[in-house]
Each structure stands twice: as structure tokens, then as C-alpha cells.
């Protein structure tokens, strides 16, 4: 950043945080109000209704202060039954995180076994795999799944997996952190018991809020299991507040105001329109990557983020620094996990939220220019031609 004159436009195309619309930034600059007031309650009530519509549920969506991980951890600790097993499914860095959380809490929550399904990075877990494990181990009380695994740009068939889990006694906690607001997710229609997202991905807000949608079976489970090992993360307290358009602890008031406006923008455009647009931007990104001869990282690509392996000879940190400093384009690299070491071998570009065709075209032109600088044999203009073809269609 330091070499870039401040008046150059910066394009933040990382898969979280993402760009925030100007109207949302302005709303968040409003003077702070106290949260135990009618004024705040009215804002919170409208936000909650909008959240339920965006989650496609008639049930509560709780707004929790913290990041996506806070919200997901809260669901994990609040819903597991003592003495039961859990099934934690991973195909990337975030799936591994949900595995680690249950490992860490196992003694406190009295978890009998953390059954781990590890799918190779770049592939998606299947409903058949989940069905088999649930058949073999009937005392699994919670299943965790990542709908859009951001670290590998991979989407699974959440609808099919929810259908399988719905036939068992287990609850499904789905990480929709880069799917809600970016690609089709039908919480009630698919029978997703718990759906989690965070504010800084497709919800067009800065980081700081996490959301937990609770379906009928999850609401019943909350009444059934005792509280162990959690205070701030106990969803019962958040649900109790939610019923009165309130929160148990001082909330992120300014973020909540901003989120109401961001969701108003999404709903005014139409959620389906936003999904279709996100898909088109991802299609354009993938077409440009293919035209540059880049190998995709995912065999089951998500529409919220697209990734490719670097060609031989491209050094990740230097490459991304050149994109930032010369072009004002910010993309993500890779992450290391148990399933793969992708820290310096991949690039990822987001198409979530407040991104437009111009952002993608500039990013693809910049990536092409810097790959050519690194010695890659690419005909100049190929990336733009490929992306433009999709975007113009």
C-alpha cells in the first residue's frame, strides 16, 4: 500500500473482508445511539426480519457481536448433546477449524468422539459419504459442514447433505459464511438446521458481526441440552434477547445500522438477482483464468470465490504486492492446513457483495500483466477477452 498514491482507487477482491457500499459507510458514520432504546430496537427488529428473509427462513436469525468464527463456535457449543458424538466434515481450512473447536471443547462438553470426515482439498464432500457415517454411528448429535469452503473455492451440495442429516437425529450446522447472500441457500426449503454467516463477506459490511439462523429442530435442541462451558457464546441468551428485539450484551450498534442498509440494498435488487450476478462475475473470473492457462484449484467451484494455482516461477507475495502497488488490486493467496499446503501456491479472487464487472475486468487485466512480467506465455488481452465475453453475454 505504501507505494500507492492515496487517490488511486483500491479494489478489494479478497474473499473477506470485501468492499462496502458508500451508503453503508455513511450510515455507519451516524452518531452512536444507546442500545437500550426504542430507536435501536426498531433498527434491530428490521434487521432481524431482513436477515430471516435473506436466510430464507421464517425462524430467528441471531445477530452476534464477533466474527463468523464467534457465531459458528456459539452454535457448536450450544447445540451438542452431552455424551454424544459429533461429525465434522472438512475439505479445507475452515472445515478444519470447526474440527479443532470441537477437539478443544471435547472434555468440557463431554463429547464422546469427534468423527472427522476429511475430503481432499479441491473436492466437495458428498451426501452419500455423510449418510454412511450417520448409519455407522447413530449417536452423532451434530454435523458440521462448510457450504462454500473459501480456502479451496469449493461448494458442496448443501441441499443433498441437509436432506440426509434431516433423516437422522443429528443437527446440521452449516457454515454459509461465503454462501449466504452470494449463492442460492434455502434454509427452510432445504432443511438446514443451523446456518451461520459473517458480516464481512457477501453481506457487504466490515468485519464484526456474526449471524446464526436457527431452524425448528435447533430451537428444540436448545431447550433440551444443558449449558456447559459457555457464557457469551451461549445461544440461549442471544435468543432470549432476540425475542424482545434486544441483545444480551452491548452490540456493535454502528455495524447493525450499516447491516440494515446493506440488506435493504440486497433486497431492493432482489436476492435472486444478486445470486445470478455473483455467478456471472465468478464465471467471468474463471473464464479469464482458463484463458491465461491457469489450473483451477476446485473441482466443484463456488460462485463466491475463484482460485487458481500459480504457474511455475511466480512468487506469491511478490506477485500480490505488484497487483496492489501497481494496479490497486487486492486478492488473496492460499492457506496451509492439514489437508494441503497452499500458502504460496494459489491465488483467490472474490466475486461476493459490492463487486462489479469493472472490478473483475481490472483485476483480470492486472493479473495477466503481472503474469506476463513473470515470464508466462500469455497472448496480451486474452484474459479480458474471455472475461468480457461472459460479462457481455
Ligand X SMILES: *Cc1c(COP(=O)(O)O)cnc(C)c1O
**Does residue 351 touch ligand X according to CB under 6 A?**
no
What does the alpha-carbon distance between residue 144 and residue 139 come to, in Å, rounded to a whole number? Answer: 15
Among 19, 48, 57, 67, binds ligand X (CB under 6 A): 67
Positions in 141-200 near ligand X (CB under 6 A): 146, 148-150, 175, 177-178, 198
For ligand X, the nearest residue by Cβ is: 68
Based on the shown chain and the rule CB under 6 A, indicate whether residue 211 belongs to the binding site for ligand X. no
Rounded to a whole number of angstroms, the minimum distance from the CB of residue 302 to ligand X is 9
> What are the distances in angstroms from CA 30 to CA 34, 35, 210, 249?
12, 14, 21, 21
176 vs 388, beta carbon nearer ligand X: 176
Give the long-range contacts of residues 281-286, CB within 8 A, separation 24 or more. 281/351, 281/355, 281/356, 281/357, 281/360, 281/391, 282/306, 282/351, 283/390, 284/357, 284/360, 284/361, 284/364, 284/386, 284/387, 284/388, 284/390, 284/391, 285/349, 285/351, 285/360, 285/363, 285/364, 285/387
Residues near 383 by beta carbon (within 8 Å), at least 6 away in sequence: 288, 289, 291, 292, 364, 365, 367, 368
Site membership for ligand X, residue 75 (CB under 6 A): no
Omega cis (within 30) before 17: yes
Q: How far is the CB of 317 from ligand X (least distance, A)?
A: 21
The span of 65-73, 183-191, 333-341, 371-379 binding ligand X (CB under 6 A) equals 65-73
Nearer to ligand X, 148 or 285 (CB): 148
209 binds ligand X (CB under 6 A): no
* Whole-angstrom distance, CA of residue 306 vs CA of residue 369: 19
Number of residues that bind ligand X (CB under 6 A): 15
Does the protein bind ligand X through residue 122 (CB under 6 A)?
A: no
- Cβ at position 372, least distance to ligand X in Å: 31
Closer to ligand X by CB, 68 or 191: give it.
68
One symbol per residue from 86 to 105: x for binding ligand X (CB under 6 A), - otherwise; what is it?
--------x-----------
Task: Report yes or no: 305 and 15 within 8 Å, Cβ to Cβ.
Answer: yes
CB of 272 to ligand X, least distance (A): 22
Which spans of this chain sit near ligand X (rule: CB under 6 A)?
A: 16, 67-69, 94, 146, 148-150, 175, 177-178, 198, 201, 207
Amino acid at each position: 500500500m505504501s507505494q500507492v498514491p492515496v487517490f488511486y482507487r483500491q479494489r478489494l477482491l479478497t474473499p473477506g473482508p470485501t468492499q462496502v457500499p458508500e451508503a453503508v459507510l455513511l450510515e455507519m458514520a451516524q452518531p452512536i445511539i444507546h442500545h437500550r432504546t426504542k430507536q435501536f430496537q426498531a433498527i434491530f427488529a428490521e434487521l432481524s426480519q431482513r436477515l430471516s428473509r435473506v436466510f430464507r427462513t421464517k425462524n430467528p436469525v441471531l445477530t452476534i457481536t464477533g466474527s463468523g468464527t464467534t457465531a459458528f463456535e456459539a452454535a457448536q457449543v450450544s447445540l451438542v448433546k452431552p455424551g454424544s458424538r459429533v461429525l465434522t466434515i472438512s475439505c479445507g481450512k475452515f472445515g478444519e477449524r470447526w474440527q479443532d473447536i470441537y477437539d478443544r471443547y471435547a472434555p468440557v462438553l463431554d463429547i464422546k468422539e469427534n468423527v472427522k470426515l476429511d475430503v481432499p482439498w479441491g473436492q466437495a464432500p458428498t451426501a452419500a459419504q455423510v449418510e454412511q457415517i450417520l448409519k455407522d454411528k447413530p449417536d452423532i448429535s451434530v454435523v458440521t459442514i462448510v457450504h462454500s469452503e473459501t480456502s479451496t473455492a469449493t461448494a458442496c451440495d448443501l441441499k443433498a447433505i441437509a436432506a440426509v442429516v434431516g433423516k437422522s437425529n443429528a443437527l446440521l450446522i452449516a457454515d454459509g459464511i461465503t454462501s449466504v447472500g452470494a449463492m442460492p441457500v434455502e434454509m427452510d426449503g432445504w432443511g438446514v438446521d443451523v446456518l451461520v454467516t459473517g458480516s464481512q463477506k457477501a453481506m457487504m459490511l466490515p468485519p464484526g458481526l456474526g449471524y446464526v439462523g436457527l431452524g425448528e429442530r435447533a430451537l428444540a435442541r436448545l431447550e433440551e441440552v444443558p449449558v456447559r462451558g459457555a457464557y457469551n457464546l451461549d445461544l440461549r441468551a442471544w435468543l432470549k434477547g432476540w425475542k424482545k428485539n434486544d441483545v444480551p450484551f452491548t452490540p456493535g450498534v454502528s455495524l447493525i445500522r450499516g447491516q440494515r442498509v446493506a440488506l435493504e440494498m440486497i433486497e431492493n435488487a432482489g436476492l435472486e438477482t444478486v445470486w445470478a450476478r455473483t455467478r456471472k462475475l465468478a464465471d467471468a473470473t474463471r473464464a479469464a483464468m482458463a484463458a491465461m492457462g491457469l489450473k483451477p484449484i476446485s473441482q466443484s467451484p463456488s460462485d463466491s470465490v475463484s482460485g487458481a494455482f500459480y504457474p511455475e516461477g511466480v512468487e506469491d507475495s511478490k506477485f500480490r504486492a505488484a497487483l496492489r502497488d501497481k494496479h490497486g488490486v487486492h486478492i488473496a493467496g492460499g492457506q496451509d492446513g492439514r489437508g494441503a499446503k497452499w500458502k504460496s501456491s494459489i491465488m483467490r479472487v472474490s466475486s461476493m457483495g459490492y463487486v462489479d464487472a469493472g472490478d473483475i475486468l481490472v483485476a483480470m487485466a492486472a493479473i495477466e500483466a503481472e503474469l506476463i512480467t513473470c515470464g508466462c506465455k500469455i497472448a496480451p488481452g486474452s484474459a479480458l477477452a474471455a472475461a468480457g465475453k461472459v460479462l457481455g453475454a
